[in-house]
C-alpha cells in the first residue's frame, strides 16, 4: 500500500505561514506609516480600524461565499488579492500618490479579502490532514503554530521595514 502524501498539508502550512507573515507585517507597518507621516494617533487608529472592521466582518459572514466559491479557490485568490493591493499601497506611497482616504479604502479591501481567505483556510485543515493521514489534532496544532510563527516573525520584520517609510499627508 502506497504511503499517504503529506504535500497538501505541508503546502497549506507554508501558505498559512506566508499569509500570516504578510498580514502581521502590514498590520503594523501601515499604521506606523500613517503615524510617522501624519503624527496623528487618531488617523493611525482610523486606518487600523479600516482594515480590521472588514476583516472581522468577513470572518463572521464569509462562510457562504467560501461554500459557493470553494475553500481552496477562496484561500488562494483572497491572499493573492491582498498581496496585489498591498503592493499597490507601497507603490502609490513611493510615488507620492496615496492620500489618506485612498489608503483607507485599500486597506478596507485588504481586510475584507483576508477575512474571507482566513475563513477558507480553516476549512482546508481537515481535508489536508485526511489526505496525509495526519491526525486532525496534530494538523490543527501545526496550523496554529504556522499562524503564531507568522505573527511573531512578521511583527519583527514590520518593525525593520516600517522605519524608512514616509508619506506626504
Please give, one letter per residue, the 3-state secondary structure of 38-98.
HCCHHHHHHHHHHHHHHHHHHHHHCHHHHHHHCHHHHHHHHHHHHHHHHHHHHHHHHCCCC
- CA separation, residue 45 to residues 24, 32, 141, 148 (Å): 16, 10, 32, 24
At 164, is the pLDDT very low, low, confident or very high (cuts 50, 70, 90)? Answer: low
Please give the average per-residue pLDDT across 125-136, as a whole number.
96
Q: Give the model's pLDDT for residue 108.
A: 98
Q: Is residue 135 a contact partner of residue 9, using CB atoms and an 8 Å limit?
A: no
Write out pLDDT tens, residues 20-51: 999 999 998 899 889 989 999 999 999 999 99
CA-wise closest residue to 77 among 35, 136, 119, 33:
119
Q: Is residue 13 a contact partner of residue 149, using CB atoms and an 8 Å limit?
A: no
Write out pLDDT tens, residues 116-125: 999 999 999 9
Only one residue has cell 501624519, namely: 38
Mean of pLDDT over the chain: 92
Please give the average per-residue pLDDT across 91-96, as a whole number.
95
- pTM for the full predicted model: 0.88
Amino acid at each position: 500500500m502506497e504511503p499517504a502524501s503529506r504535500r497538501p498539508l505541508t503546502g497549506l502550512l507554508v501558505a498559512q505561514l506566508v499569509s500570516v507573515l504578510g498580514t502581521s507585517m502590514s498590520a503594523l507597518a501601515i499604521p506606523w506609516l500613517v503615524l510617522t507621516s501624519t503624527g496623528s494617533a487618531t488617523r493611525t487608529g482610523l486606518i487600523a480600524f479600516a482594515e480590521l472592521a472588514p476583516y472581522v466582518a468577513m470572518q463572521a459572514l464569509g462562510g457562504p461565499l467560501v461554500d459557493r466559491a470553494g475553500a481552496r479557490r477562496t484561500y488562494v485568490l483572497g491572499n493573492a488579492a491582498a498581496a496585489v493591493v498591498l503592493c499597490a499601497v507601497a507603490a502609490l506611497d513611493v510615488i507620492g500618490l496615496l492620500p489618506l482616504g485612498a489608503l483607507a479604502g485599500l486597506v478596507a479591501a485588504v481586510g475584507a479579502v483576508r477575512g474571507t481567505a482566513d475563513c477558507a483556510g480553516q476549512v482546508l485543515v481537515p481535508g489536508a490532514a485526511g489526505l496525509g493521514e495526519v491526525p486532525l489534532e496534530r494538523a490543527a496544532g501545526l496550523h496554529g503554530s504556522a499562524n503564531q510563527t507568522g505573527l511573531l516573525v512578521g511583527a519583527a520584520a514590520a518593525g525593520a521595514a516600517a522605519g524608512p517609510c514616509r508619506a506626504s499627508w
